[in-house]
A = this chain, B = another copy of it.
Amino acid sequence: MAENNEVIQKVVQELLKRGINIDPKEAMSSLGGKKMETKDLLNSTSVVPEFVGTREIGDTIGMVIPSVDPLLLDQLHVSKKYPVLGILSARSGAGPHIMAIDEAVKQTNTEVIDVELPRDTKGGAGHGSLIIVGGNDPSDARQAINVALDNLSRTFGDVYNSAAGHLEFQFTARASGACNFAFGAPEGKAYGLICGAPAGIGVVMADTAVKTASVNVLSFASPGHGTSFSNEGMVHISGESGAVRQAVMAGREVGLKLLAELGDKPVNDFPSYIK
């Protein structure tokens, strides 16, 4: 065994010398987060009062500014000025974070005032996100960010990754402020998102989806239109709840087959929630 350990050490050293990257965080999150853990990465007693929490999925961090500096507020790209800001920011994930905030603003006295989509996902085909909610009470903003963080294990449920790309599906029976702000979804009505990467898969999924049930096509986003140059094709649909859900599920069925043609089977990191 002593000899074995020596061999193992030598192999590891040899590999490290040859430049292998064994950062576990990097490897895990390279496709947008592969882990099922939803607990905070660190339970440290942070000395930064703005800190709310993190989730490993998407490298997501939530923060609250209890009283934003007016000089800075003037320069922020927000739709409306509030003294209190809640911030949800991630390297990977736009739809999941927007849907999570949609739930958060339903449950709290806050409003979505900024949604920006960086072209990120750590080498993947999609977006990260910067979402700001405004409020008048720090505890409201903190609660909103906590609700959003807790919803990510649900809203990532229908995100499917493979080495070649990804698929994302979202559904809500009643869209709220975040879906409206980000996607133009009519508030109070059912909303669905069908997204595929590489983008062409999204075109075919969209065609299948809108043929399946009678829904309104709000818009189609693609690399040059309505995305931040991501390699995604995505249709935003609205309408009657059952029809929207049926359309999303039909898109999912064809998308999973098409993306699998590019190699391995796409997998989700959390249980599917659209059924």
Contact = CB atoms under 8 A, between A and B. Distances in A.
* Max count, chain B CB within 10 A of own CB: residue among A11, A19, A30, A264: A19
A91 to B, nearest CB: 5
A153 B30 CA distance: 28
Contacts of A28: 19
Main secondary structure on chain A at its contact with chain B? Answer: mixed
Contacts of A36: none
Interface stretch (A99-107, A134-142, A172-180, A196-204): A196-204
B41 A224 contact: no
Contacts of A261: 41-42, 44, 46, 48, 51, 54, 61
A6 B8 contact: no
Q: Which of A41, A62, A200, A219 has the most CB of B within 10 A?
A: A200
A51 B203 CA distance: 12
Nearest to A74: B217
Nearest to A219: B75
Interface string A29-58: 110000000000110101110110010000
Interface of A: 3-4, 6-8, 10-12, 14-15, 18-30, 41-42, 44, 46-48, 50-51, 54, 59, 61-63, 65, 68-69, 71-72, 74-77, 85, 87-91, 116-120, 122-125, 128, 130, 132, 162-165, 197-201, 203-204, 206-207, 210-211, 217, 219-220, 222-225, 227-233, 235, 254, 257-258, 260-264
